Chain A
C-alpha cells in the first residue's frame, strides 16, 4: 500500500488532527456544514478513529497532496488516510467530483470512499457506486453507520484485511456472513449494537426492527430482490 507519509508539524498545525495512535485508523471527513462536521467528527472519534475534518473537496485534495495547483511530488507530507467520508452536496466541488478525482489518482484510488447525502436518490447512489464508492450513507449519520465503516478499512496489520479485497466481491462475501445474523446495516435496527440505547425511537418497539423506507446502505440494496425495492 502506497503512501507511508511522514507526519509533519506543519500538517498537524494546519489541519485539526487528533493525537497520533498507530493502532487507530485515520479517516478524512469532508463536509461543508459545520454542524455536520462536528457530529461526524464525534461519531468517528467515539468509534476509535483518528479524524481530520475539512470543509471542502478542495481542502481534502490539498490534504492528500492532490491539489492541482500544488505539485504532488514536491515534498508534500500527509498523514496516511485509511478512509474518506464525504458529503455529496457541497459548493464548489461536490462529493461525487471528489470521489472521481480520488479514483483517478494512482496514489489514492485504493482508499475507500464513502458518500453521505441527505437526499435518498437512487440515481445518485448508483452513480456513486459506479464511480467506486464503497457505500452511501443517508443522513443524518448515526453511530451504526460509522461502526460499519470499519469493514471498509485498509489496514496492513490485518484488521479488516478481509475487506481489502475491494469492491463488489468484498460486499458479497460479507453479505453471505451477515445474512444469517441480525443485520446491522439496516441502520434503525436497535439490537445489533450494545452501545446504543434501547429506546432508539420513541414509537417503535425494540423487538421489531423498524426498517425505514430510505435505503441506508447499498449493500442492503444489492441483496434485495426487485419486490423488496418497490416495497
Chain B
C-alpha cells in the first residue's frame, strides 16, 4: 500500500515538473538545483526557493511602489530592481518570470510608464503562478518524504 503511494507521488511530481517545463515556467537550471540536493543538504531546493520568494516579493512591492508614484521618474532604480529579479529568477530556473523581467526592463529603458505598468501586472501574474506551482511541488515532495517514513526537518 505504502509502496503504491510512493510511486503515485513520484509520478505526480514528475507530471507536474514535466508540465512546468513544457509551459516554459521552469528551465534546466531548476534541474541543476535538484542535483545539488542530497542527504547532506536534503532541503536545498526549498531553502533556495524560499529565499527567492522572500526577495521577489520585496522587489515586486518596490516596483509597484515606484510606479504608482505620481511624479515617478526613477527608471534607473526600477532597472536595478529588475536586474536583481532577473538574476535570481535565472538562478533558480524561473524562465517565464525572467522573460517578463526582460520585457519590463525594455519598457523601462524607453521610459514607457504604461508599458511598465502592463509588464508589472504580467510579472505579478507569472510570479503568482510560479509560486503556487512550486508550493504544490514541495507539498508532493513532503508527502513523499513522510510516506518513506523518514523525518526531515521541515522549513517554512
| A140 B55 Cβ-Cβ under 8 A | no
Number of interface residues, chain B, beta carbon within 8 A: 28
Whether A162 is near chain B, meaning CB under 8 Å from some CB there, is no
Write out the residue numbers on chain B whose beta carbons fall within 8 Å of the beta carbon of A202. Answer: 18, 21-22, 28
Give Cα A139 to B47, complex, Å: 20
Contact of A140 among B29, B44, B52 (CB under 8 A): B29
Whether A124 is near chain B, meaning CB under 8 Å from some CB there, is no
Interface residues of A in 107-140 (CB under 8 A from B): 118, 139-140
| A143 B31 Cβ-Cβ under 8 A | no
| A197 B91 Cβ-Cβ under 8 A | no
Write out the residue numbers on chain B whose beta carbons fall within 8 Å of the beta carbon of A200. Answer: 28, 31
Write out the residue numbers on chain A whose beta carbons fall within 8 Å of the beta carbon of B86. Answer: 118
Q: Is the interface of B mostly helix, strand, loop or mixed?
A: helix
Minimal Cβ-Cβ distance residue in A for B29:
A140
Q: A33-B87, A36-B91 are in contact. Are A140 and B32 (CB under 8 A)?
A: yes
Give Cα A33 to B32, complex, Å: 18
| B91 A140 Cβ-Cβ under 8 A | yes
Whether A178 is near chain B, meaning CB under 8 Å from some CB there, is no
Minimal Cβ-Cβ distance residue in A for B33:
A39
Whether B48 is near chain A, meaning CB under 8 Å from some CB there, is yes
Give Cα A118 to B86, complex, Å: 9
Tell me how far the C-beta of A190 lies from the nearest C-beta in chain B, rounded to whole angstroms.
10
Minimal Cβ-Cβ distance residue in A for B28:
A201
Chain A interface residue number, banded:
20 to 34
Whether A46 is near chain B, meaning CB under 8 Å from some CB there, is yes
Whether A196 is near chain B, meaning CB under 8 Å from some CB there, is yes
| B35 A196 Cβ-Cβ under 8 A | yes
Contact of B51 among A34, A43, A91 (CB under 8 A): A34
Q: Is the interface of A mostly helix, strand, loop or mixed?
A: loop
| A139 B51 Cβ-Cβ under 8 A | no
| B87 A118 Cβ-Cβ under 8 A | yes
| B35 A197 Cβ-Cβ under 8 A | yes
Q: Which of B41, B80, B86, B90 has the most CB of A within 10 A?
A: B90
Interface residues of B in 64-111 (CB under 8 A from A): 80, 83-84, 86-88, 90-93
Q: Mark A39-62, 1 if CB is under 8 A from B, else 0.
A: 100110010000000000000000
| A36 B44 Cβ-Cβ under 8 A | no
Whether B36 is near chain A, meaning CB under 8 Å from some CB there, is yes
Write out the residue numbers on chain A whose beta carbons fall within 8 Å of the beta carbon of B28. Answer: 200-202
Write out the residue numbers on chain A whose beta carbons fall within 8 Å of the beta carbon of B84. Answer: 33
Q: Which residues of A contact B (CB under 8 A)?
A: 33-36, 38-39, 42-43, 46, 89, 91, 118, 139-143, 195-197, 199-202
Q: Which residues of B contact A (CB under 8 A)?
A: 18, 21-22, 28-29, 31-33, 35-36, 38, 41, 44, 47-48, 51-52, 55, 80, 83-84, 86-88, 90-93
